[in-house]
Chains A and B, each alone.
Chain A
Amino acid sequence: ETGVTQTPRHLVMGMTNKKSLKCEQHLGHNAMYWYKQSAKKPLELMFVYNFKEQTENNSVPSRFSPECPNSSHLFLHLHTLQPEDSALYLCASSQDGRETQYFGPGTRLLVL
């Protein structure tokens, strides 16, 4: 699991705040993913980046803005979130779309 790191591990923010989640993978992979994990719901894929290019945006509201400056780093910029956005946000990486996805430990987000 140390192959994919996420910071911060916990975040509390108000609805008017702007914050960013960071993900870094040390596995030499070319694809990176953001997932949302809510209680009693399946993991929801939010965004996919392949070689820094966004290949998937799973109808995510614009208050979530991803950024992938290189194949090792992925950010999720958050602004004007809603309480229902409170969840565990997981980052993952893989060598390509058909290979195993390796997940980070997640950022537990609480929106007040």
Chain B
Amino acid sequence: QQQVKQSPQSLIVQKGGISIINCAYENTAFDYFPWYQQFPGKGPALLIAIRPDVSEKKEGRFTISFNKSAKQFSLHIMDSQPGDSATYFCAASEDSSYKLIFGSGTRLLVRP
């Protein structure tokens, strides 16, 4: 019930392409869905987040798509750049909880 399933485990994209990472959850009480980006030797940093009252949120080249009925959300990186190469984690939490449940991560490599 608490799990967040993330796919794919790794992703290789050419520069300029679209990177798509998917996450699915079971707990319908989740109402906050952030994406974190982690570079080697660094801690994760918040990239973008969404709440279930909207189906899409866009910030620059990064877009979250949210499907409440399917209990799925995804991260789209448009015009992917080599500097986007990192590990991406989706996460989810409930309103009343300090507890973020993380997906297992996706290692993205953007080739020049």
Contacts and interface: CB of A to CB of B under 8 A. Distances in A.
A81 interface: no
Contact of B98 (A4, A33, A90): A33
Interface in B83-112: 89, 93, 95-105
User: On chain A, which size bracket covers the interface?
Assistant: 20 to 34
Interface stretch (B13-21, B40-48, B61-69): B40-48
Contact of A48 (B34, B41, B99): B99
B78 interface: no
A42 B100 CA distance: 11
Interface string B35-67: 010000111111001000000000000000000
Contacts of B97: 97
Contacts of A74: none
B100 A45 contact: yes
A50 interface: yes
B103 A42 contact: yes
A43 B99 contact: no
Interface string A55-96: 110100000000000000000000000000000001010101
A31 B98 contact: yes
A89 B105 CA distance: 16
Nearest to A49: B98
Contact of A43 (B9, B32, B42, B89): B89
A34 interface: no
A50 B42 contact: no
A104 B45 CA distance: 9
B102 A97 contact: no
Interface of B: 4, 9, 32, 34, 36, 41-46, 49, 89, 93, 95-105
